[in-house]
């Protein structure tokens, strides 16, 4: 079912020169499968890794009803709606301490934040709302609190026997803390996804090499490194590979023998020296798509094999911005799926465009933008200069992608556009 020719048959209804972005994303998502190997890691080492099993809570968190404030714990029934109430202070309970007795009518306990609620108490009045507090008595004005206020319930955060986290969750700082709150020291995570990548092109020089006439430095390997590292992949940087059949074949074979996925840049457009496409086609089942997108129109996707090992292949375009767009909007979701992660959809916000943006219906455009809060407090976005697919500065100066949808036409100044922010708080 998951053969690429089957998948290709699903897109036969589309113009081969303009495969819609959503369709390409869907096909890739259907084709890839997650890694299965699981390793147990010490909690700290599991940061940014993908949880491999549901994590069932062994205890209630918090393990006991406790106070949310510094103040006095009392019986809600003792409060009076219109009259001040003076209660006897029977004891003091600190966080980590406890009160063994049961509170009688007219009594209260001085209590600190996090201290267990004494038996019989259901309410805490914060210290600052009390009057005439002494060692032995305290007065509570009418209306200061309602019965049940300022009490944290046992298990209100996590309940024993229930899943605290689901398999597929990428473990973020809050999750490490949450797992620690359960007293769990080791967690099962999927093994890291191994991704090999190389750049293709006779014109490319690596950093440290002299820049011969007509040549440029390879930048794609560095953006790819950054994007893959951020995603939590183990990376194998294979350098620059010349547009020569033997060199390309050796690189593709080594890549797919050693990695789960192979990402290349360059050589998938219709240039004379693009042996890359031929080589991909020789080694496996690879579809060459012309996607209705800007930038990043040509792309190869499939599975290649060598010596009994195989890997998914993403043949990204060569232009530096196109590489990033194709990575983020085609490879990223697929890699997350291969990592075993369930990825929440990216937050997509609406922002007011500060200027007109020319756009033809019939393709999805990803422009680079700077998102900020306007004077009226609404989100506003400005495009970061020239949007050529080779102009990496447009990406470097941006903090979001402006997504102009397939059917969308030209945007007027003041229109709302969709943006995908690059970075969140985490
Ligand atoms: P190609 O897809 O191989 O035809 O490349 C398209 C454009 O991207 C050409 O101008 C290439 O020089 C440029 N390019 C390809 N690979 C890289 C790279 N690794 N770093 C920077 N520019 C590149
Ligand atoms: Mg090339």
Residues 6+ apart with CB under 8 A from 313: 256, 261, 262, 263, 264, 280, 284, 286, 300, 301, 302, 303, 304
Q: Looking at the CA of 273, which ligand is closest?
A: 2
Q: Are strands 216-217 and 204-205 parallel, antiparallel or unpaired?
A: parallel
pLDDT, tens digit (0-9, with 9 covering 90-100), for 398-423: 999 999 999 999 999 999 999 999 98
> How many CB atoms are located within 10 Å of the residue 358 CB?
9
> 322 C-alpha vs ligand 2 centroid, how far in Å?
13
Rounded to an integer, what distance in angstroms lies between the CA atom of residue 307 and that of residue 309?
6
Q: Looking at the CA of 204, which ligand is closest?
A: 1
pLDDT, tens digit (0-9, with 9 covering 90-100), for 318-329: 999 999 999 999
| pLDDT above 80: residue 5 | no
Give residue 249's pLDDT: 97
Rounded to an integer, what distance in angstroms lies between the CA atom of residue 402 and that of residue 371?
9
Cα dihedral value 81, 84, 88, 93, nearest 10: 70
As a whole number, mean pLDDT of residues 224-246 equals 97
* Backbone angles phi and psi of 10, in degrees to 5: -70, -25
Rounded to an integer, what distance in angstroms lies between the CA atom of residue 25 and that of residue 110?
60
> 204 C-alpha vs ligand 2 centroid, how far in Å?
9
- Asked whether 206 lines ligand 1 (CB < 6 A), one says no
- Asked whether 384 lines ligand 1 (CB < 6 A), one says no
| pLDDT above 50: residue 354 | yes
User: Which atom of ligand 1 is nearest to 317's Cα?
Assistant: 2
Rounded to an integer, what distance in angstroms lies between the CA atom of residue 131 and that of residue 129?
7
> 129 C-alpha vs ligand 2 centroid, how far in Å?
73
| pLDDT above 60: residue 221 | yes
Query: Which residue from 217, 227, 266 has its CB within 8 A of the most atoms of ligand 1, so it is best to mutate?
Result: 266
Give residue 12's pLDDT: 63
Give residue 9's pLDDT: 67
Of 82-91, 183-192, 341-350, minimum mean pLDDT range = 341-350
Give residue 2's pLDDT: 60
As a whole number, mean pLDDT of residues 355-361 equals 96
User: Which atom of ligand 1 is nearest to 240's Cα?
Assistant: 19
Q: How confident is the model at residue 204 (pLDDT cuts 50, 70, 90)?
A: very high
As a whole number, mean pLDDT of residues 144-173 equals 97
> 275 C-alpha vs ligand 2 centroid, how far in Å?
9
Give residue 281's pLDDT: 92
- Asked whether 319 lines ligand 1 (CB < 6 A), one says yes
pLDDT, tens digit (0-9, with 9 covering 90-100), for 26-46: 999 999 999 999 999 999 999
Averaged confidence pLDDT in the chain: 95
Rounded to an integer, what distance in angstroms lies between the CA atom of residue 35 and that of residue 340?
6
pLDDT, tens digit (0-9, with 9 covering 90-100), for 173-202: 999 999 999 999 999 999 999 999 999 999
Give residue 1's pLDDT: 45
Give residue 272's pLDDT: 67
Q: Looking at the CA of 317, which ligand is closest?
A: 1
Is 143 within 8 Å of 94 (Cβ atoms)? no
> 382 C-alpha vs ligand 1 centroid, how far in Å?
27
Give residue 8's pLDDT: 65
| pLDDT above 70: residue 209 | yes
Q: Which residue has the tokens 């031929």?
A: 278
- Asked whether 276 lines ligand 1 (CB < 6 A), one says no
> 388 C-alpha vs ligand 1 centroid, how far in Å?
13
Cα dihedral value 144, 145, 151, 156, nearest 10: -130
Residues 6+ apart with CB under 8 A from 302: 4, 280, 284, 285, 286, 287, 312, 313
Domains, the chain, in order of start with CATH, read 4-37+192-338 (3.40.980.10), 38-61+156-190 (3.90.105.10), 66-152 (2.170.190.11), 349-421 (2.40.340.10)
Identify the residue whose C-alpha is closest to ligand 1 atom 15. 318
- Asked whether 318 lines ligand 1 (CB < 6 A), one says yes
| pLDDT above 70: residue 205 | yes
Percent of the chain with pLDDT over 90: 92
Rounded to an integer, what distance in angstroms lies between the CA atom of residue 419 and that of residue 398?
11
Decide which of 275 and 238 is more confident. 238
Decide which of 202 and 17 is more confident. 202
- Asked whether 271 lines ligand 1 (CB < 6 A), one says yes
> 204 C-alpha vs ligand 1 centroid, how far in Å?
8
Rounded to an integer, what distance in angstroms lies between the CA atom of residue 398 and that of residue 405?
19
Q: Which residue has the tokens 């998502």?
A: 29
> 8 C-alpha vs ligand 2 centroid, how far in Å?
26
Identify the residue whose C-alpha is closest to ligand 1 atom 14. 318
As a whole number, mean pLDDT of residues 373-389 equals 95
């Amino acid at each position: 079912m998951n053969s690429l020719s089957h998948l290709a048959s699903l897109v036969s209804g589309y113009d081969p020169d303009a495969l819609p972005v959503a369709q390409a994303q869907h096909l890739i998502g259907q084709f890839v499968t997650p890694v299965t190997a699981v390793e147990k890691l010490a909690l700290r080492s599991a940061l940014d890794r993908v949880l491999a099993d549901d994590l069932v809570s062994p205890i209630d968190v918090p393990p006991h009803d406790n106070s949310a404030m510094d103040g006095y714990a009392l019986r809600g029934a003792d409060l009076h709606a219109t009259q001040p109430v003076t209660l006897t202070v029977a004891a003091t309970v600190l966080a980590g301490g406890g009160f063994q007795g049961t509170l009688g009518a007219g009594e209260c306990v001085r209590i600190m934040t996090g201290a267990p609620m004494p038996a019989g108490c259901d309410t805490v009045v914060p210290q600052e709302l009390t009057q005439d507090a002494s060692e032995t008595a305290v007065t509570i004005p009418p209306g200061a609190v309602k019965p049940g206020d300022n009490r944290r319930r046992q298990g209100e955060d996590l309940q024993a026997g229930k899943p605290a986290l689901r398999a597929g969750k990428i473990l973020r700082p809050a999750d490490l803390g949450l797992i620690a709150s359960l007293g769990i020291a080791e967690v099962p995570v999927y093994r890291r996804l191994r991704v090999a990548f190389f750049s293709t092109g006779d014109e490319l020089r690596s950093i440290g090499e002299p820049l011969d006439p007509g040549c440029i430095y390879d930048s794609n390997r560095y953006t790819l490194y950054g994007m893959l590292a951020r995603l939590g992949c183990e990376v194998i940087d294979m350098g620059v590979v010349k547009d020569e059949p033997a060199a390309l074949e050796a690189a593709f074979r080594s890549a797919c023998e050693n990695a789960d996925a192979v990402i290349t840049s360059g050589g998938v457009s219709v240039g004379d020296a693009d042996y890359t496409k031929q080589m991909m086609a020789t080694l496996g089942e690879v579809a060459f798509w012309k996607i209705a997108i800007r930038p990043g129109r040509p792309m190869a996707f499939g599975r290649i094999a060598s010596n009994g090992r195989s890997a998914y292949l993403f043949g990204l375009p060569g232009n530096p911005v196109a590489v990033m767009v194709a990575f983020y909007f085609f490879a990223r979701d697929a890699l997350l799926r291969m990592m075993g992660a369930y990825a929440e959809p990216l937050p997509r916000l609406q922002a007011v465009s500060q200027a007109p943006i020319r756009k033809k219906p019939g393709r999805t455009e990803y422009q680079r933008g700077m998102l900020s809060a306007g004077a009226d407090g609404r989100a506003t976005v400005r495009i970061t200069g020239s949007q050529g697919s080779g102009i990496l500065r447009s990406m470097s100066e941006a903090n979001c992608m402006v997504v102009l949808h397939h059917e969308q036409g030209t945007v007027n100044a003041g229109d709302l556009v969709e943006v995908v922010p690059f970075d969140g708080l985490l």
